[in-house]
């Protein structure tokens, strides 16, 4: 800890701007903030508390995590399919262990869900697919009964949205909903489009439990449309690069798997 002489020469606004710049590289602990800015632990904690109240960082017990605001733009399926392949495969294999023989499950849209669908081998279950590519992959397995709700297909993304899809989900009950997400932070799960967020909420309502599948790049971000709070999730399956987010998530979600 340093004395307060250097603190008096630095305006609080300048210090906090410096902290936000440091957080662009990842999480920070209070002791690191104090050392780098040459301020006291008390001042470092107060600055992080202020940034947290302003919604500019995610405050944790010993420091802070960056908040990266998303946009309403979503990469095309072909682009997303090339990103985080090994992480998605590990997540998919772990999630597959949660599917019991004879279960009824709902699979969300996206490339993580496609990896999950491909990992579900050698068992019998019923699947409601909210994605055309996911449905096609599942339908290649004779032991899997695939239900595809009607609706509008998003060009280039293959997810299903709209009133027909919503009506179909309103008439079913499933054991598990395996949900994907564009962004997750302490406010909860958010999505790039209002239409897909509505579908996710209906799938949650139709299921006994919701399990979120998301790689580490989705955390610390916030997208346009809210889906649910973290405590509405039964489990999260992510990859081992999740870092400090794992302990943060464990405060809100009963089961967090990082593979």
Q: Reply yes or no on domain 5-66 having CATH 2.60.40.420.
A: no
> What are the φ/ψ torsions at residue 156 (nearest 5 degrees)?
85, -10
Q: CATH 3.40.50.1360: which residues of the chain? A: 77-258
- Tens digit of pLDDT for each residue in 18-74? 888 888 777 889 999 999 999 999 999 999 998 888 777 878 888 888 766 554 455
pLDDT of residue 26: 74
Distances (CA, A) of 40 to 16, 35, 53, 60, 101: 14, 8, 20, 18, 57
Helix (H) or strand (E) holding 2, with range, is: none
Higher per-residue pLDDT: 234 or 5: 234
The yes-or-no verdict on residue 111 having pLDDT over 50 is yes
- Tens digit of pLDDT for each residue in 131-167? 999 999 999 988 999 999 988 888 777 889 999 999 9
N- to C-terminal Cα separation, the chain: 37
Q: CATH 1.10.10.10: which residues of the chain? A: 5-66
Q: Which CATH number fits domain 77-258: 3.40.50.620, 3.40.50.720, 3.40.640.10, 3.40.50.1360?
A: 3.40.50.1360
């Amino acid at each position: 800890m340093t004395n307060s002489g250097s603190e008096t020469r630095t305006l609080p606004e300048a210090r906090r701007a410096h902290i936000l710049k440091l957080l662009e590289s990842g999480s920070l602990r209070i002791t690191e903030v104090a050392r780098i800015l040459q301020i006291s632990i008390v001042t470092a904690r107060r600055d992080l508390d202020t940034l947290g109240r302003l919604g500019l960082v995610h405050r944790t017990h010993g420091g802070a995590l960056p908040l990266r605001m998303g946009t309403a733009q979503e990469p095309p399926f072909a682009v997303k399919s090339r990103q985080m392949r090994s992480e998605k495969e590990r997540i998919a294999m772990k999630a597959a262990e949660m599917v019991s023989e004879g279960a009824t499950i709902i699979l969300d849209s996206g490339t993580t869900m496609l990896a999950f669908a491909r990992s579900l081998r050698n068992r019998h279950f019923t699947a409601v697919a909210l994605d055309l590519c996911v449905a096609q992959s599942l339908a290649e397995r004779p032991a899997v009964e695939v239900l595809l709700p009607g609706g509008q297909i998003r060009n280039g993304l293959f997810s299903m949205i709209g009133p027909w899809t919503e009506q179909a989900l309103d008439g079913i009950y499933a054991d598990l909903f395996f949900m994907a997400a564009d962004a997750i932070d302490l406010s909860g799960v958010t999505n790039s489009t209002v239409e897909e967020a509505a579908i996710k909420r209906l799938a949650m309502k139709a299921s006994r439990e919701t399990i979120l599948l998301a790689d580490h790049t989705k955390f610390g971000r916030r997208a346009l449309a809210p889906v649910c709070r973290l405590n509405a999730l039964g489990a999260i399956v992510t990859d081992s690069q999740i870092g400090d987010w794992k302990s943060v998530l464990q405060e809100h979600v009963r089961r967090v798997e990082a593979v």
